[in-house]
Amino acid sequence: STDDAGLVERLGERVVVVTGEVSNLKITRPSDLRLARNVLNMKGPSERPTHKKF
């Protein structure tokens, strides 16, 4: 978040921005949670990303 980046910069550290995934939703409000649930309901289990086993 921007507040976190500002804190890190005030400590004299470098902050970088990286490209993320559109599907990586940040949930901070109830409406964000509803959106995430809707996205999950749109895909079948076989289409959902899975964690790679190491």
Position 52 in a domain: no
Q: Which amino acid is at 20?
A: G
Does this model's pTM top 0.85? My answer is: no
39 and 23 Cβ atoms separated by less than 8 Å: yes
pLDDT tens for 17-54 read: 888 888 788 899 999 999 989 888 886 656 556 655 55
Burial of 36 from C-beta contacts in 10 A (0-12 / 13-18 / 19+)? middle
Domain coverage including residue 20: 2-44
* Number of neighbours of residue 45 by Cβ within 10 angstroms: 7
For residue 20, what pLDDT is reported?
83
Position 36 in a domain: yes
pLDDT score of 9 more than 90 = yes
Position 10 in a domain: yes
pLDDT score of 7 more than 80 = yes
Q: Count the domains in the chain.
A: 1
Lookup result for tokens 């939703």: 25
Position 50 in a domain: no
Position 19 in a domain: yes
**Residue 41 corresponds to which tokens in the numbers above?**
């309901």
